[in-house]
Amino acid sequence: MKLLQGQIWRSSEGYVRVVNLERLKVGYKKISNMESGEGTHHEATKKEFCRMLKGATLVG
C-alpha cells in the first residue's frame, strides 16, 4: 500500500484523510460527513494506520 499525503479512504466508520505523513507516523483526520468536512485529528504509527485501513477503499 502506497500512502500519500492528502489521500482519502472510505472505511466502515466513515472517511479518513491523510493530513501529515512522516517516516514512522501518520497524522490523519477522521471525517464522518464529507460535505461539512468536520472531524477529529489523530496520530498513529504507520503500522497501526495501515492496520486501521485494512478493508478500506481509496476515494481520492
Mean pLDDT by 10 residues, the chain (60 residues): 93 94 96 91 96 92
pLDDT at position 1 is 73
pTM for the full model? 0.88
Q: Please give the distance of CA 31 from its chain centroid, rounded to a whole number.
A: 9
* Cα separation, 4 vs 17, whole angstroms: 10
- Cβ atoms of 1 and 50 within 8 Å: the answer is yes
| Secondary structure in 3-state letters for the chain | CCCCCCCEEEECCEEEEEEEECCCEEEEEEECCCCCCCEEEEEEEHHHHHHHCCCCEECC
